Structure 1
Amino acid sequence: MLNIIGELLFWREDYKFYKRKKVRREFEAENNLPKKLMIHPVWKLLGIFIGFVLISKIIITYFFFSDFGEKKTAEKIIEIELILEKEKKLLGIYPKKLNEIIRNNPLRKNITNDYWKNEFFSEQTENGIDYVLISKGKDGILKTEDDINGNKNLP
């Protein structure tokens, strides 16, 4: 029943729009005016709806997913730490440079960059027995509040 009522309302709007458009085109022809762009009411409603959806998405993303970059970077740090632990088991020490873990593997091409495309800071300590792994965070500057440190609590 609601479908029928909705269709009748759309038909009514169509009829009113085309009637207004016809009158406008006749007026433009009589007065030698350029044609004015006339937008159908359904397209106006669709534009308003799309605008509302986009604004809602931006607001929801800002309030509920503002820490998305931190989460993705923390996941990448865990992945790098697992790779570093495998390297240590194979070679006995950690690699001197973080880029060495890529090893011509196309899946690891961007593994040394965090969510914000900043390269991770990594440093060996104690003759390759230990390491430090830090993301520079959103600002890209080391030793600030937004830095994300690696978690060395791996098995």
Structure 2
Amino acid sequence: MFDFIGCILDTYLDIKHWFNTKRRRKYEKENNLPKSIVWHPLTKPLFIFFIIIIPVIFLFSFFIFKNENQRKTTKRMLEISKLLESEKKQFGKFPSALKRDY
């Protein structure tokens, strides 16, 4: 139901915008004025929304993914140390060279 009402209101705003644009263009043509920008009614709220949301997303991602590489490195080092310890237990010595197997 809310979608239907929203669709009706959106269509009403579009039609109202078209009439305002047509009226404005006619006025500009009659008075030899340059064409001005006629903004759609949803332009201003969307612009404000993007101005707010972009810094929020940037800050959120900055603080969440700040230490991601350090965590990955630490995790990989722990895996390598576990593998080295298991090889030490199995063969009695550490390997002379580490080989990449990925």
Aligned 1:5-154 pairs, distance under 5 A: 5-78=5-78, 81=80, 85=84, 92-94=95-97, 101=99
Aligned residues: 98
Q: Which has the higher strand share?
A: 1
Residues 14 and 73 of structure 1, relative CA distance in 2, 3 Å threshold: same
CA distance in 2, matches of 1:76, 1:37: 56
CA distance in 1, matches of 2:74, 2:40: 49
Residues 72 and 39 of structure 1, relative CA distance in 2, 3 Å threshold: farther
Residues 52 and 27 of structure 1, relative CA distance in 2, 3 Å threshold: same
Q: TM-score, normalization: structure 2?
A: 0.62
Residues 11 and 75 of structure 1, relative CA distance in 2, 3 Å threshold: same
Any stretches of 5+ residues in structure 2 without a counterpart?
none
Q: Which has the higher helix share?
A: 2
Q: TM-score, normalization: structure 1?
A: 0.45
CA distance in 2, matches of 1:35, 1:63: 46
Any stretches of 5+ residues in structure 1 without a counterpart?
96-100, 108-155
1:15 to partner: Cα distance: 2.3
Residues 75-129 of structure 1 show CA distances to partners (whole Å, capped at 9, x for unaligned) of: 34446x36x84xx97x94136xxxxx46xx8x6xxxxxxxxxxxxxxxxxxxxxx
CA distance in 2, matches of 1:33, 1:52: 35
1:25 to partner: Cα distance: 0.8
1:29 to partner: Cα distance: 1.2
Give the structure with higher Rg (CA): 2
Task: Name the amino acid aligned to 1:19.
Answer: F
Q: CA RMSD in A?
A: 3.4
CA distance in 1, matches of 2:58, 2:15: 37
Percent of aligned pairs with the same amino acid: 31
1:36 to partner: Cα distance: 2.0
